[in-house]
Amino acid sequence: MAVEPFLPFSRPSIDAATIEGVGDVLRSGWITSGPWVQTFELRLAELCGGRPVRAVSSATAAVEIALALAGIGPGDEVITSAQTFFTVSNMIARAGATPVFVDCDLVTRNIDLRAVEAAVTPRTRAIVPTHWPGSATDMDALLAIARRHGVRVIEDAALSFGTRFRGRFGGSFGDVTTFSFHPNKTLTTIEGGAIVLNDGAEATRVDALRFHGIERLGDGTRDVAIPGGKFNLPDVNARIGVGQLERLDAILARRRSLVERYFMRWPEEADCLLPPRPAPDDGCTWNMFCVLLPLEWMTITRAAFRDAMQQREGIGTGISYEALHLTTLGRRHGGREGQFPNAERIARETVTLPLFPDMLDDDVDRVCDAVRRVLAECRR
């Protein structure tokens, strides 16, 4: 019997034309930030309703810059979800501010807007929601809360590039939006990210913040008025991003098709909590497919389940994500067990299953069959 090849839970999809294009950039001799970065930014701006976009070295850099742009610093509070990646709380803490965590919805995983409003204090300066694959935070409601309290909204759209909210591309509304182009995201530049801004003045500030704080003077010399970092994106990466944008519709369509296959083939007896099933016109992208395991009746741990999937079935999985308030950093800011039950349950029970554009329908079937077998063997 032939052994099936290992199926990772994510793999970038880069076509031959893009690979050849990267070779052209390397041969050109200009490989750091240059004309391809400008092209990439302009094409992203077109998607985002004409708002200026600046490409940076990572989504983490984008969040750090967004917080600096908003003037976040010591003594300030920033509200965010306890269920997201480490980037958000890390960058809030690095800015000297206090991350204020709230819970999320168990199924959509989006931030609990009632909890957001209840968490606002006179020290609140910003709210950072994370948009999850398969759903989007209700931005109209969130922006209304922000306006009532005079705070900024920094959208973490690392997991949802390409999502449309009520017909508009994510990033075309709100205050500031950050994207991730990591290899396991919807669109990749190998490493990289972007920040969507309100106007040219903010874009000019970001130009300085992402490159040493440098401002060019009229006589050709340079000055530094703010302590900027080194967060620029090279042209090699931007060329990949441009190639990915040319295929974006096909990439998104394939991801949606694979998710539909997951819902169609999912074994009901597995008794897992699934993400919200997509409507044909919901406009959401699918960067990940996460399910909650039925640990209450399983005779093995999540770690043992993942080991069985990898070692016996040849299928990779992830855990996306830990509860931020229970990290060592989160506990320093008052985090404790039982504080945010939905975020904690998601952190305990989640398994992220394979989902990437080059997967076959048969690969989805293989995953579903493997989940059924492993869970059937560990039922109490």
Write out pLDDT tens, residues 222-253.
999 999 999 999 999 999 999 999 999 999 99
pLDDT at 1 over 50: no
Q: 3-state SS of the chain?
A: CCCCCCECCCCCCCCHHHHHHHHHHHHHCCCCCCHHHHHHHHHHHHHCCCCCEEEECCHHHHHHHHHHHCCCCCCCEEEEECECCHHHHHHHHHCCCEEEEECECCCCCCECHHHHHHHCCCCEEEEECECCCCCCCCHHHHHHHHHHHCCEEEEECCCCCCCEECCEECCCCCCEEEEECCCCCCCCCCCCEEEECCCHHHHHHHHHHCECCEEECCCCCEEECCCCCECCCCHHHHHHHHHHHHCHHHHHHHHHHHHHHHHHHCCHHHCCECCCCCCCCCCCCCCCEEEECCCCCECCCHHHHHHHHHHHCCECCECCCCEHHHCHHHHHCCCCCCCCHHHHHHHHHEEEECCCCCCCHHHHHHHHHHHHHHHHHCEC
Q: State yes or no: is 185 an active-site residue.
A: yes
Indicate if 82 and 33 belong to the same structural domain.
yes
Q: Is residue 166 part of a domain?
A: yes
Q: Is residue 8 part of a domain?
A: no
Q: Could you tell me the CATH number of the domain that includes residue 335?
A: 3.90.1150.10
User: Percentage of residues in the chain with pLDDT exceeding 90?
Assistant: 91
Indicate if 226 and 295 belong to the same structural domain.
no
pLDDT digits (tens, 9 = 90+) for 270-306: 999 999 987 777 788 899 999 999 999 999 999 999 9
The domain boundary, picked from 246, 265, 282, lies at 246
Selected catalytic residue, list 185, 205, 254, 325: 185
pLDDT digits (tens, 9 = 90+) for 193-219: 999 999 999 999 999 999 999 999 999
Indicate if 109 and 159 belong to the same structural domain.
yes
**Per-residue pLDDT at 2:** 55
Indicate if 189 and 307 belong to the same structural domain.
no
Q: Is residue 265 part of a domain?
A: yes
Indicate if 30 and 139 belong to the same structural domain.
yes
Indicate if 270 and 142 belong to the same structural domain.
no
